Every structure is written in structure tokens, then in C-alpha cells.
């Protein structure tokens, strides 16, 4: 298999697997236990927390372990918005139309809970505009949630600039607007420094950067009001109830530490392969159209539309040839509908339903890209011919 769907999930790093194994076997203690096995498990969690904090330029007490990106995003948005509303800060939330469904659906839930939610758009490249963001802020705004990089088209958002807009707007006000960012796609490709970004909360998912599935991270800046999403115990500094997934946490920390090393070199290598794929597609299939920003973007993400096809049919044909790609966000593959991201960008529906996402990884090779380029034009033509014959 030529695997070009790293935005959906990535293979478990060997070092992360090895870090997990002891806690899947003999070192099975509950971190809440006061006996030796429990203290050993707690020590593993503490070491992992310190490692993740160092990777993010955060304090260990600002790092919470979760079950994945979805829980982290839900916890950040619901926990901060609800706590600030209870504190009398306001009832308004700002987000964007291009968020992952884990964020969009939380925004809808917040509306059901009585919050007023403003959803701003983006330009044709998928980039949020600072002026529109600034105009959406109100005295009663308590939270803004904007993803770091889009999972479908790869466009990177100006998070530090958005944080500066919030700082300027909040001057002289009793309550500062909190900024959360879904940074699930960012590790491996960007050095994440929460202080430089100016975020109050940041969400990660371990399996996107070589860690295990079912594990995630939520950075929560010290002092930010927060109401836990999960109740029942005092784990994770009383912010996330439930017995810790010690093995998953250990694997997450090791994977993030590796992902945070040689980011520039890794990004440059994979970006060159992405450009090889992009240039080859444009040369072999002249009516192919690229979606998303082609410069300020994830180095591993290429979203392209092919005239006269349906993306699911092409994904199936590529799969039969041993190539794994995606027709959009992995979380939306069970329903056939145009990408909400492409629609928000103003992409015509005929292009939106004909879009394919190739997402490369550290293990992708030039030979694999060349094989894809040898196979893809014929499969695109085959799908187009089949649809034309209907």
C-alpha cells in the first residue's frame, strides 16, 4: 500500500510503541493507587506531562491528557465558555466555518445551551481574515476557537495575529477573551510554542503524529476559567475525571518529543515530495484544480479537484490499485456531501464533490509519488468515462 492519508491517521512510531509496552503488561497499576505499582504509574504520567510541556513551551500543570482531539476540543470550548459565562463575562463565542466537525458541532451545542455563536468565513484559499475576526468580537465575547491548520486543504491560520487582535480588543476590559486552537494537524510540521502563539488552550491528537489512537492532549493556560467536561474523580488536576490511560500517555509523550525534533528538516523533505506530486498532477491532468493555499500551508497536504468525477469513485479505484487517499475529512467519509470547508471557500459544488486529499508522511518516498503519478491519470479518466456513460 502507498499510504497518502496521514491527515486521517499516522502509523504508530516504534519508540512510542516501546514506551507503551511496559504499561500494557507488568506495570499495570492505577496512578491513583498509593502502593508501589500505583506510584510507578503516576510517575510515568508525570514524566510524560513534563515532556509534553517542554515540547509546547508550557508548564506541566497546564497539560491535560485526554482520549483524543475530539475530547480536547470539546473540553476546551465547552469548559471555557461555560466557566466564563458563569463568571458573568458574557455569552458570545466566535468560531469559523472551516473548523473540523469536532469544533463545528460543539459550536452548535453551545447554541443549544443558550450561547450566541458567530461563525466567520474565510477567503478563497481557506484563510481567516483578521478584519472579519476583529469585527465579530463583542464586549460579551468569552471565547474564540480557530484551528491552526485545516485538515482538508492544509491552509494555516494566523493564530498569533488573531491572539494579538484579542489582546488589543481586551485592553481595559475586566475579562479577556480566551483563544482556543485545534492544532491536531500541526505537530511534525510546525514547532508549537503556546506562548509565542498566544493561545489560552490548544488541542492535539496523538495518532496524528505517530502516537496511539485514543490519546490526546489539551493545553490549558494557567488561570483560564474552566469547567470540566467529565466528572467523577479528581484525576488530571481535577480537570478531567477518569483513570489515566498510562500506556497511551507514555506513547503520546514519546511521539510528540520525536515529532518536535528536526521539524524544519522533516517539513522541507515532505514539502518537496508534495511539490513533486502537485507538479506531476498539473502536468499530466491539465484540468486539475488545486484547493487551498499553496504556500502558507501544511507541507504534507494536497487537495485537488478533477473535472467530471466523483471523489468517492476515484478513492475506490485508487484503493484497488494499492493507493490510500481521502475524499475529505476522515470523519465525514460515512456521509456523501460536499466538503463544508470547500463550500466555505466558495469552491463550486461540481469541484467540491470531485476533490481528493493526498496527505503525505515522513515515510513517503519519491518512488511512491512517481508510482501514484503513473497510475492517477488513467484512473481519473476511467472515473470520468464511467460517469459520462451513465
CATH at residue 201: 3.40.640.10
pLDDT tens readout for residues 158-171: 999 999 999 999 99
Neighbours of 85 (CB within 10 A): 22
Q: How many Å apart are CA 97 and CA 95, to the nearest integer?
A: 7
Q: How many Å apart are CA 138 and CA 123, to the nearest integer?
A: 22
pLDDT value at residue 330: 53
89 & 204 share domain: yes
The enclosing domain of 278 has a CATH number of 3.90.1150.10
Taking residues 258-286, what's their average pLDDT?
97
Q: Which of 259, 291, 325 is the last residue of a domain?
A: 259
Q: Which of 259, 292, 315 is the last residue of a domain?
A: 259
47 & 190 share domain: yes
Number of compact structural domains in the chain: 2
pLDDT tens readout for residues 306-352: 999 999 999 999 999 999 999 865 555 555 678 999 999 999 999 99
% residues pLDDT > 70 (the chain): 98
Q: How many Å apart are CA 373 and CA 270, to the nearest integer?
A: 16
Torsion sign across C-alpha atoms 180, 184, 189, 191: positive
Q: Is the pLDDT of residue 266 over 90?
A: yes
229 & 270 share domain: no
240 & 330 share domain: no
pLDDT value at residue 226: 97
Q: Is the pLDDT of residue 258 over 70?
A: yes
Q: Which residues are catalytic?
A: 331
Q: Which of 152, 211, 139 is nearest to 182 (CA)?
A: 152
83 & 230 share domain: yes
21 & 125 share domain: yes
Q: Which of 199, 228, 259 is the last residue of a domain?
A: 259
Q: Which domain holds residue 217?
A: 14-259
DSSP string, 35-63: SHHHHHHHHHHHHHHHHHHHHHT--GGGE
Q: Which helix (H) or strand (E) holds 369?
A: helix 366-388
pLDDT value at residue 299: 98
pLDDT tens readout for residues 63-115: 999 999 999 999 999 999 999 999 999 999 999 999 999 999 999 999 999 99
Residue 191 carries which DSSP code?
Answer: -
pLDDT value at residue 172: 85
Q: Compute, in degrees rounded to 10, the torsion defined by CA atoms 182, 187, 190, 195.
A: 60
CB-based contact 10:207 (threshold 8 Å): yes
pLDDT value at residue 114: 97
Residue 82 carries which DSSP code?
Answer: H
Pairing of strands 216-220, 301-305: unpaired
Q: How many Å apart are CA 345 and CA 276, to the nearest integer?
A: 25
332 & 217 share domain: no
217 & 312 share domain: no
268-305: b (≥16 Cβ within 10 Å) or e: eebbebbebbbebbeeebeebbbbbbeeebbbbbbbbb
pLDDT value at residue 328: 62
269 & 254 share domain: no
337 & 364 share domain: yes
Taking residues 242-246, what's their average pLDDT?
96
249 & 297 share domain: no
Quick check: helix, strand or coil at residue 119?
Answer: strand
pTM here is 0.95
Question: Beta partners for 92?
Answer: 116, 141
CB-based contact 143:180 (threshold 8 Å): yes
Give the strands of the sheet with 216-220, arranged side by side.
Answer: 63-66, 216-220, 201-205, 178-182, 141-145, 92-96, 116-120
CB-based contact 198:219 (threshold 8 Å): no
Instruction: Report in angstroms the alpha-carbon separations of 257 from 46, 52, 110, 252.
Output: 15, 7, 34, 9
pLDDT tens readout for residues 225-242: 999 999 999 999 999 999
Q: Which helix (H) or strand (E) holds 376?
A: helix 366-388
Contacts for 268 with CB less than 8 Å, ≥ 6 apart: 299
298 & 249 share domain: no
DSSP string, 131-144: HHHHHH--TTEEEE
pLDDT value at residue 174: 84
Amino acid at each position: 500500500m502507498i499510504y497518502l492519508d496521514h491527515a486521517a491517521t499516522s502509523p504508530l512510531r516504534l519508540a512510542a510503541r516501546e514506551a507503551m509496552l511496559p504499561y500494557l503488561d507488568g506495570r499495570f497499576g492505577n496512578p491513583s493507587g498509593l502502593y508501589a505499582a500505583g506510584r510507578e504509574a503516576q510517575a510515568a504520567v508525570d514524566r510524560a506531562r513534563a515532556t509534553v510541556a517542554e515540547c509546547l513551551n508550557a508548564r506541566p500543570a497546564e497539560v491535560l491528557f485526554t482520549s483524543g482531539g475530539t475530547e480536547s476540543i470539546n473540553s476546551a470550548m465547552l469548559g471555557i465558555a461555560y466557566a466564563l459565562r458563569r463568571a458573568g463575562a458574557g455569552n458570545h463565542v466566535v468560531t469559523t466555518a472551516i473548523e473540523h466537525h469536532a469544533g463545528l458541532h460543539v459550536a452548535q451545542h453551545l447554541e443549544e445551551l443558550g450561547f450566541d455563536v458567530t461563525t466567520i468565513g474565510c477567503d478563497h484559499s481557506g484563510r481567516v481574515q483578521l478584519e472579519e475576526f476583529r469585527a465579530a468580537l463583542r464586549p460579551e465575547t468569552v471565547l474564540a476557537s480557530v484551528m491552526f491548520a485545516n485538515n482538508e486543504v492544509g491552509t494555516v491560520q494566523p493564530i498569533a495575529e488573531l491572539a494579538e487582535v484579542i489582546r488589543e480588543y481586551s485592553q481595559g476590559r475586566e475579562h479577556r477573551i480566551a483563544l482556543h486552537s485545534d492544532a491536531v494537524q500541526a505537530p511534525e510540521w510546525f514547532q508549537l510554542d503556546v506562548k509565542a502563539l498566544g493561545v489560552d488552550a490548544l488541542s492535539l491528537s496523538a495518532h496524528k503524529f505517530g502516537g496511539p489512537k485514543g490519546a490526546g492532549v489539551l493545553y490549558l493556560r494557567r488561570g483560564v476559567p474552566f469547567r470540566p467536561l467529565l466528572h467523577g474523580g479528581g484525576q488530571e488536576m481535577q480537570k478531567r475525571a477518569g483513570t489515566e490511560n498510562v500506556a497511551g500517555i507514555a506513547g503520546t509523550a514519546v511521539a510528540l518529543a520525536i515529532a518536535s525534533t528536526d521539524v524544519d528538516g522533516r517539513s522541507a523533505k515532505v514539502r518537496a515530495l508534495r511539490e513533486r506530486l502537485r507538479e506531476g498532477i498539473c502536468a499530466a491532468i491539465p484540468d486539475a484544480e488545486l484547493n487551498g493555499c499553496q504556500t502558507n500551508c501544511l507541507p504534507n497536504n494536497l487537495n485537488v479537484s478533477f473535472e467530471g468525477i466523483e471523489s468517492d469513485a476515484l478513492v475506490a479505484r485508487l484503493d484497488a490499485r494499492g493507493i490510500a487517499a481521502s475524499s475529505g475529512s476522515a470523519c465525514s467519509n460515512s456521509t456523501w456531501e460536499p466538503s463544508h470547508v470547500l463550500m466555505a471557500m466558495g469552491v463550486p459544488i461540481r469541484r467540491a464533490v470531485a476533490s481528493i486529499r493526498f496527505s503525505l508522511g515522513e515515510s513517503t518516498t519519491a518512488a511512491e509519488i512517481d508510482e501514484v503519478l503513473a497510475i492517477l491519470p488513467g484512473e481519473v479518466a476511467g472515473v470520468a468515462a464511467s460517469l459520462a456513460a451513465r
